Amino acid sequence: MAFYSALAESIDAYTGLSPVAFFTIVALMVGVYFLVSGFFVYPEDEAASKSSPPPPQQQAPPPEPFVPPEPVQVGDITLEELQAYNGSDPKKPLLMAIKGQVYDVSIGRLFYGPGGAYSFFAGRETSRALALMSFDPRDLNSDLEDLNEAELEVLHDWEEKFKEKYVKVGQIVSEKSKDGNEDENSKQIKENLE
């Protein structure tokens, strides 16, 4: 009751109206608002509200997540052969070498696949570039002779990261030793990949 008298007093003080007159005016204003806003219905909304509700749509199945194939061992591989795994052939895995060790980086295809920020690393020996944090294509090699301690440490950190994240699938060999040493098994592995 006290609340009602306080409300009535406030309405009177602010508007000079009795509560009945005040609420009548408010009700009329709300009514007018809905009446007027009814004139501005979008034609599509009107059509939608008149037509029968659409039949429940067949939900398209969500796209299959990309699952890269299991890493396959390539064994001994030359720098030249490694370049075939640079992402230009979508059937081949993405490979990248650090300090002569070859990693399958297919799961990082957003980085290393075509159009990726680091696609230029794919199919290459990247040690010097990673040590120097360089994007210069001339640094895509394993030449570490003139590097200082700090740069070698950077490279070491990258190597640790790659060992942890990616599967090692082979090692770089020079053309010469490869010709002499390749066994039937490594040949078979490579044939499987082609």
* 129 counts as binding ligand HEM under rule CB under 6 A: yes
Q: Does 108 bind ligand HEM (CB under 6 A)?
A: yes
Which of 11/147 has CB closer to ligand HEM?
Answer: 147
Residue 100 in 3-state DSSP? coil
Phi, psi for residue 145 in degrees, rounded to 5? -55, -45
CA dihedral 130, 75, 83, 67 (to 10 degrees): -80
Interatomic CA distance for residues 12 and 14, integer angstroms: 6
Binding mask 153-182 for ligand HEM (x = CB under 6 A): ------------x-----------------
| Closest distance to ligand HEM from the beta carbon of 130 (Å) | 6
Least separation in angstroms between residue 92's CB and ligand HEM is 18
Q: What does the angle CA 128 – CA 69 – CA 83 come to, to the nearest 5 degrees?
A: 35
Residue 135, interface with ligand HEM (CB under 6 A)? yes
Percentage helix, strand, coil for the chain under 3-state DSSP, each rounded to 5: 55, 10, 35
Nearer to ligand HEM, 92 or 109 (CB): 109
Of the candidates 17, 133, 177, 183, which one interacts with ligand HEM according to CB under 6 A?
A: 133
With CB under 6 A as the contact rule, the residue among 5, 134, 188, 192 that binds ligand HEM is 134
CA angle in degrees (0–180, nearest 5) for 177-179-184:
115
For ligand HEM, the closer of residues 131 and 189 by Cβ is: 131
Q: Report how far residue 142's alpha carbon sits from residue 144's, in angstroms, rounded to the nearest whole number.
A: 6
Contact residues for ligand HEM (CB under 6 A)?
108, 111, 118, 129-130, 133-135, 165
